[in-house]
């Protein structure tokens, strides 16, 4: 395989030199008006093709886009994305038109003379100030949205959950009735005692903590996630909630969000139903199992051979159902004997 790679590189270098030689030979070639006219028309044809592909991708590829954000904070992410997408789309649409249309309109012609236009301070000011103001506004909104998921005040009384990453699985730990997580460190890991998350059981706050392998979240309540990693760099990605944070060995990172739709409500959402139907067609064509919507926690860093399989199911329910589920779980004091 390595030999084939070297052969490919050698061929690519040879072709490059050949093309450069051809270009050098074209220095003495003068394009005729007919050639310029042909190239101008080709530019117009490419413009039509480009627009057709853009429109097709926006419509046909929509099935692989995420549905509406399932968290209150994620709504702001979607708003920022939509604003940025439309701004870039409009500018790109206009600029592509100008580039290819002007290539046709001002194609070479012996009877035309180029106009030398030195500069315009008004134009310079215009195309500098408008993008600058736009970027400042977008960055300001982005910083506000970022602070909204990173800062959690005591008055918000969030539910505290630790998400623990390791090759290649997730575990989670809920703070008990005191809403305080016990201290954790990899040095406390003891498989024989079921202490797989390295919780310091001498810490009083750890006694009522609850360890699970599937996340249950209550709708409408602020959730503060703390992240730790046992081995390598992972990335906790919850796409439907528009939340992602690196899990770094030796330190604790965090973010917070408020679920606004239960799992069942999202399954009944018409947009989700349509996307699920579209994804099912793709999966069926590949011979894979049919898809049923669920919230997921994924690893978004390539962390090793089984990275693709590192995921955890997230179920969002009403607060009463969440409280009932939580009351049925074992505490760490009961789990670790």
How large is the greatest C-alpha to C-alpha distance in the chain, in angstroms?
94
Paired strand residues for 160:
224
b/e map 92-126, b = 16+ CB within 10 Å: eeeeeeeebeebbeebeeeeeeeeeeeeeeeeeee
Local confidence band at 26 (pLDDT 50, 70, 90 cut-offs): low
Local confidence band at 151 (pLDDT 50, 70, 90 cut-offs): confident
d(CA 189, CA 175): 18
CATH number of 157-335: 2.60.40.420
* CA angle centred on 227, ends 161 and 157, rounded to 5°: 35
Express as a percent the part of the chain with pLDDT over 90. 25
136: Cα within 13 Å, side-chain hemisphere: 6
Question: Which has the minimum average pLDDT: 2-6, 22-26, 120-124, 320-324?
Answer: 22-26
Instruction: State the pairing for strand pair 234-238/243-247.
Output: antiparallel
Local confidence band at 163 (pLDDT 50, 70, 90 cut-offs): very high
179: Cα within 13 Å, side-chain hemisphere: 9
pTM confidence score: 0.75
d(CA 139, CA 134): 9
Q: 116: phi > 0 → left, psi -120 to 50 → alpha, else beta; which? A: beta
Sheet containing strand 159-166, edge to edge, reads 210-212, 169-174, 159-166, 223-229, 253-257
CB within 8 Å of 304: residues ≥ 6 apart: 167, 168, 232
pLDDT averaged over every residue in the chain? 85
pLDDT digits (tens, 9 = 90+) for 28-41: 666 677 888 888 88
- Cβ 159 vs Cβ 221: under 8 Å: yes
The whole-number average pLDDT for the span 17-23 is 76
pLDDT digits (tens, 9 = 90+) for 195-212: 788 887 887 887 888 888
d(CA 322, CA 217): 7
The whole-number average pLDDT for the span 275-289 is 76
The whole-number average pLDDT for the span 311-333 is 89
Model pLDDT, residue 140: 92
Is residue 317 predicted with pLDDT exceeding 90?
yes
Is residue 273 predicted with pLDDT exceeding 90?
no
pLDDT digits (tens, 9 = 90+) for 82-121: 999 899 989 988 999 998 898 888 887 778 777 777 778 8
Is residue 281 predicted with pLDDT exceeding 80?
no
Paired strand residues for 249:
229
The whole-number average pLDDT for the span 66-85 is 89
pLDDT digits (tens, 9 = 90+) for 224-269: 999 999 889 999 999 999 999 999 998 899 989 999 999 988 888 8
Is residue 1 predicted with pLDDT exceeding 70?
no
- Exposed/middle/buried for 259, CB within 10 Å: 0-12, 13-18, 19+? buried
The whole-number average pLDDT for the span 140-147 is 88
Is residue 270 predicted with pLDDT exceeding 80?
no
Q: Please state the three-class secondary structure of the chain as a single string.
A: CHHHHHHHHHHHHHHHHHHHHHHHHHHHCCCCHHHHHHHHHHHHHHHHHHHHHHHHHHHHHHHHCCCCCCEHHHHHHHHHHHHHHHHHHHHHHHHHHHHHHHHHHCCCCCCCCCCCCCCCHHHHHHHHHHHHHHHHHHHHHHHHHHHHHHCCCHHHCCEEEEEEEECCEEEEEECCCCCCCCCECHHHCEHHHCECCCECCCCHHHCCCEEECCEEEECCCCEEEEEEECCCCEEEEEHHHCEEEEECECCCEEEEECECCCHHHHHHCHHHHHHHHHHHHHHHHCCCCCCCCCEEEEECCCCCCCHHHCEEEEEEECHHHHHHHHHCCCCHHHHCC
* Boundaries of every domain in the chain: 34-107+122-151, 157-335
Question: Which has the minimum average pLDDT: 91-100, 178-187, 243-252, 306-315?
Answer: 178-187
Is residue 192 predicted with pLDDT exceeding 70?
no
Is residue 297 predicted with pLDDT exceeding 90?
yes
């Amino acid at each position: 395989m390595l030999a084939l790679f070297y052969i490919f590189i050698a061929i690519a270098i040879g072709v490059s030199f050949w093309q450069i030689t051809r270009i050098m030979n074209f220095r003495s070639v003068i394009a005729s008006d007919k050639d310029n006219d042909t190239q101008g028309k080709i530019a117009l044809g490419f413009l039509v093709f480009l627009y057709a592909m853009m429109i097709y991708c926006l419509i046909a590829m929509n099935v692989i886009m995420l549905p509406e954000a399932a968290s209150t904070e994620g709504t702001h992410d979607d708003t920022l994305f939509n604003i940025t997408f439309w701004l870039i789309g409009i500018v790109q649409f206009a600029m592509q038109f100008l580039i290819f249309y002007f290539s046709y309109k001002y194609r070479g012609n012996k009877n035309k003379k180029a106009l030398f236009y030195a500069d315009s301070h008004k134009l310079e000011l215009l195309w500098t100030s408008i993008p600058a103001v736009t970027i400042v506004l977008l960055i300001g909104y982005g910083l506000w949205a970022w602070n909204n998921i990173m800062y959690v005040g005591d008055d918000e009384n969030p539910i505290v959950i630790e998400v623990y990453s390791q090759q290649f699985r997730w575990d989670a730990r809920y703070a008990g009735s005191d809403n305080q997580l016990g201290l954790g460190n990899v040095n406390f890991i003891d498989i024989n005692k079921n202490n797989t998350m390295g919780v310091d059981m001498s810490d009083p706050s750890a006694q009522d903590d609850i360890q699970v392998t599937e996340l249950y979240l209550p709708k409408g309540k602020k959730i503060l996630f703390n992240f730790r990693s046992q081995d390598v760099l992972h990335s906790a990605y919850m796409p439907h909630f528009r939340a992602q944070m690196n899990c770094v060995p030796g330190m604790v990172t965090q973010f917070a969000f408020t679920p606004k739709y239960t799992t069942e409500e999202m399954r009944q959402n018409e947009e989700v139903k349509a996307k699920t139907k579209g994804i099912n067609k793709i999966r069926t064509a590949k011979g894979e199992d049919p898809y049923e919507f669920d919230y997921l926690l994924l690893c978004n860093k390539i962390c090793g051979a089984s990275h693709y399989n590192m995921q955890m199911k997230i179920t969002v329910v009403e607060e009463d159902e969440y409280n009932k589920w939580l009351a049925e779980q074992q505490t760490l004091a009961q789990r670790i004997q």
